[in-house]
Structure 1
């Protein structure tokens, strides 16, 4: 049993067959071996068996380089559609090229959540293993888990082990299904299998996709990630690689993380090379404004100048700038390769400094981003039915059903993981966008699960106390009543008005389309279409605000982005939505000659997000009503913050909508400090990336601007 009957044949030498271990087998021996199989020599029960031939699998190089001649495989133990434990099995000399542990193969445990190898076991003992084996990222990991869960449905076995191989051309390939999983997987994972099985006892799983999500939430080694989710702070070590933003472009720098010192200090020579100070600056102790990115968090600070030439780091980040981080002294610094020599960013040195094909990366990211369609997947298919039920029974909490995913998240994730960027401006932009798309994928995969709120937090964040206080103060200034709005303009007339504005701006490729059902009354799409909800009614003021919001902000910016050399400026850089929506809120306020209720919706969303994290749909609805807003508005607000949940009675929130008010406040500050609003029309990006965007060569100035700007 356990692989003894398998002979992997890799070639021929005359009439002889050559096995993966290099052994030659004559045709007579081969025939005799087939006879043994038929006689049941390798059968568990000793009864007659079947001999069959399979295509030879050429192993993926990423895993194959750790194996001795034979085919490595990944064993995943599955129960109740939930992958419970997994290991990578690697053939050795002792196992004669076979991946069976009892024959002498070695194994590496795999973190279910991340698909990364952990501990290595050889002959039931934990060993160091080949260099690089620990921490190996398994390709196609999410897809492997899904295959294994689906196998359980097909076989109808309640508990099984699925063996998967990674073919160089075809990716994950099912090798075999085992009714007896073996216990070696426990040693490789340093975890008792029984405890994991007990944890999922009684858990109701309706689909393999949900089984995979549950597995990754329950059994992944995600302590650091959990700390970040709970605290809202990134975990860093005592030494990190950071991106320092200079006037000529960014540069990767090794930084010492030192909470003992008060402020941040940069090496004087580095500051000169980044054009942060002049070459003849001589006085140490001078202060400069410094921008840098660490753990995907952009910081701006005042840094001191010192001579750090004798150190292996060029930046010391002190206590004052570590408020968003937790320092883990046990975390080992891992260099991300050679820190590149800084050459700045300009059209002259782009080709010399970077061998990255940015056009290809741009196309791949834009194509993947286009497929995800978060809001489409978050729109309940039974929305109208649940709306009617709720309005009849106010204390009812809607039970939402969501559409199936229109794409394969596993394939998209693998494409994203293969993208590599450098430290230049475009490299930073594309790398940030890649990380954001990965978060988007994770969000839509977890719609309807307990982890949805955490995924939304990962992508959009949560309002902090300062923003909550600002929102409350803004709402406190709201009048008790507003001037009467004559909602006499129907959706067809509104569409005609919008089309006229398109014509006025020369937007010939844009048109308005009536849509049967939408969450919002009006929304700009990505393909030259402005959608208007059928049955919606508008006032003159409301139309004017929508024109400023949708056309004179989102559409004009998208068109300017279309004129740039990279699609990402049209689709949006990472975090662009905050600035786009903040700019739209600012613009709609400017075009009204009197106060209207819509001006307070963005602040209202901040409170709604905060409340929805702990409260039900009905409780959010009541909170909005208590603040003096209509039932219609209260339902819309509750829907926006509770979509993504199946049972809206439960705690949980889709956090996106608080960024409107956050972006609005950031833009007010930007203007008060002398910022030029026209700069924000270059394309779709976050205000914090303005300097980075300006360092990208060959960007065109904004061609289309609001006529009143």
Structure 2
């Protein structure tokens, strides 16, 4: 029996659960934070920032909201949770509602620095001192010599052809769209089940391999596994799912032989940028830290600073490295990855996933990440680093 083939008697027994799940699904379809958080005038403000010798605060503009935040927020709390008799399920959906409601508040306050930052903290948290120490540990390693795989000469159209060829090994549809309003070179839109490619970007061979394992090998796998589950919370996302999902995605890069020290350093810079933000530093202060103190080139330093400061203070980027550490530790313990690939789920809710599976309300999902089939990493430095993260 596949996850969606829930017996009619189970649907009847847990009718209130399916009702609230359907109710929340209708509401969540209206929101996707990443479609609002990326500035629409990035290039203009980057030019102003560089022209001013890095001594001004960029004035970013953001897409307009396509929903009424107050009305949507109220609708999240309109369903009576006491109809769910099972205490574990009732508490789960209570936490899910708070998570989605906080996401609405995040979107509503984009562009209002203090308000957005504190809403972002509730959803993503902030780097701990251990995370900052791990980031500094990684940055102590000497850069590896670059080779031809790092040269950016592939066009967005070539990237599309590469991803299409990579995805043929998976039995799910690959929808690809080009976009000018994303900060990453490529990313998955969970709501539209599509892979977005940045239209004006150039890609290296290594970046294509990295993005393929990251976006297709994990993010699209969990998107389609989530859609195959009986409950839509697996598709829309459990609370605290970002750290686990991004940890899985970067671990997929490692297993696929795509992860490099340069990429690991990029994740370390992101932690430092998020930490700088949490300490109250301005955009120019964070840029100074990454560019002048850590000597990262100004284009990459600007991108990392932008990712941390967009919206008014976005702490999501601090989770990639800690997520990788947790997933790598799970790998060392030879614990199964399949439950974490069953949808947009979190390690923090593994007990709930097991409980839902026991009730017949969840399953592993029909897709596996082919990146995890065997370890293709050939870089002993990466193994040493990952084995020594705190």
TM-score bucket of the superposed structures, by smaller chain:
0.7 to 0.9
* Structure 1 position 474, deviation (Å): 2.2
Aligned pair 1:387/2:53, yes or no?
A: no
Q: How many residues align?
A: 355
* Structure 1 position 686, deviation (Å): 0.5
* Structure 1 position 444, deviation (Å): 1.9
Of residues 670, 688, 699, the one that matches 2:348 is 688
Aligned to 1:641: 308
Aligned pair 1:574/2:239, yes or no?
A: yes
Residues 1:461 and 1:594: Cα distance change in structure 2 (over 3 Å): closer
Q: Within 5 Å, which residues of 2 pair with 1:88-99? A: none
* Structure 1 position 550, deviation (Å): 0.2
Runs of 5+ unmatched residues, structure 2: 1-5, 374-390
Aligned pair 1:522/2:186, yes or no?
A: yes
Deviations 1:467-511 (A, max 9, x none): 221222122235265445121211101011112223331223x22
Of residues 403, 412, 418, the one that matches 2:63 is 403
The alignment yields a C-alpha RMSD, in angstroms, of: 2.4
Aligned pair 1:623/2:289, yes or no?
A: yes
Q: Confirm or deny: 8 A CA contact 2:45 2:60 kept in the other structure.
A: yes
Aligned to 1:360: 19
Aligned to 2:324: 664
Aligned pair 1:466/2:130, yes or no?
A: yes
SS in 2 for 1:538: coil
Q: 1 CA distance for matches of 2:172 and 2:10?
A: 33
Q: 1 CA distance for matches of 2:336 and 2:79?
A: 34
Q: 2 CA distance for matches of 1:505 and 1:347?
A: 28
Residues 1:628 and 1:402: Cα distance change in structure 2 (over 3 Å): same
Of residues 585, 596, 605, the one that matches 2:270 is 605
**Stretch of structure 1 that moved more, 355-364 or 410-419:** 355-364
* Structure 1 position 622, deviation (Å): 2.0
SS in 1 for 2:168: helix
* Structure 1 position 594, deviation (Å): 7.0
SS in 2 for 1:489: coil
Aligned to 1:252: none
Aligned to 1:375: 34
SS in 2 for 1:592: coil
Q: 2 CA distance for matches of 1:702 and 1:486?
A: 37
Q: 2 CA distance for matches of 1:382 and 1:595?
A: 31
Q: Confirm or deny: 8 A CA contact 2:143 2:261 kept in the other structure.
A: no
Q: 2 CA distance for matches of 1:506 and 1:571?
A: 21
Deviations 1:313-355 (A, max 9, x none): xxxxxxxxxxxxxxxxxxxxxxxxxxxxxxxxx9899679x76
User: Structure 2-normalised TM-score?
Assistant: 0.84
Per chain length, whose mean CA-contact separation is higher, i.e. which structure has more relative contact order (CA < 8 Å, sep 6+)?
Answer: 2
Q: Confirm or deny: 8 A CA contact 2:40 2:181 kept in the other structure.
A: no
Q: 1 CA distance for matches of 2:231 and 2:14?
A: 17
Q: Within 5 Å, which residues of 2 pair with 1:145-294? A: none
Q: 1 CA distance for matches of 2:31 and 2:321?
A: 25
Q: 1 CA distance for matches of 2:215 and 2:78?
A: 35
Of residues 437, 440, 449, the one that matches 2:100 is 437
Q: Confirm or deny: 8 A CA contact 2:342 2:365 kept in the other structure.
A: yes
Residues 1:689 and 1:347: Cα distance change in structure 2 (over 3 Å): farther
Q: 2 CA distance for matches of 1:500 and 1:491?
A: 14
Aligned to 1:701: 364
Residues 1:396 and 1:599: Cα distance change in structure 2 (over 3 Å): same
Aligned to 1:152: none
Residues 1:579 and 1:594: Cα distance change in structure 2 (over 3 Å): closer
* Structure 1 position 386, deviation (Å): 0.9
Aligned to 1:675: 335
Q: 2 CA distance for matches of 1:594 and 1:414?
A: 43
Q: Confirm or deny: 8 A CA contact 2:144 2:261 kept in the other structure.
A: no
Q: 2 CA distance for matches of 1:460 and 1:504?
A: 33
* Structure 1 position 440, deviation (Å): 1.0
Q: 1 CA distance for matches of 2:21 and 2:92?
A: 10
Q: 2 CA distance for matches of 1:528 and 1:377?
A: 17
Q: Within 5 Å, which residues of 2 pair with 1:2-13? A: none
Runs of 5+ unmatched residues, structure 1: 1-345, 646-652
SS in 2 for 1:390: helix
Q: 2 CA distance for matches of 1:547 and 1:702?
A: 20
- The structure carrying a bigger strand percent of its residues is 1
* Structure 1 position 609, deviation (Å): 0.6
Of residues 141, 144, 164, the one that matches 1:499 is 164
Q: 1 CA distance for matches of 2:320 and 2:126?
A: 12
SS in 2 for 1:372: coil
Residues 1:412 and 1:670: Cα distance change in structure 2 (over 3 Å): same
Residues 1:348 and 1:505: Cα distance change in structure 2 (over 3 Å): closer
Q: 1 CA distance for matches of 2:260 and 2:124?
A: 29
Deviant stretches of 4+, over 6 Å: 346-352
SS in 2 for 1:357: helix
* Structure 1 position 581, deviation (Å): 0.4
Q: Confirm or deny: 8 A CA contact 1:569 1:684 kept in the other structure.
A: yes
Q: 2 CA distance for matches of 1:533 and 1:348?
A: 44
SS in 2 for 1:695: helix
- The structure carrying a bigger helix percent of its residues is 2
Aligned to 1:654: 314
Q: Confirm or deny: 8 A CA contact 2:274 2:317 kept in the other structure.
A: yes
**Stretch of structure 1 that moved more, 572-581 or 667-676:** 667-676
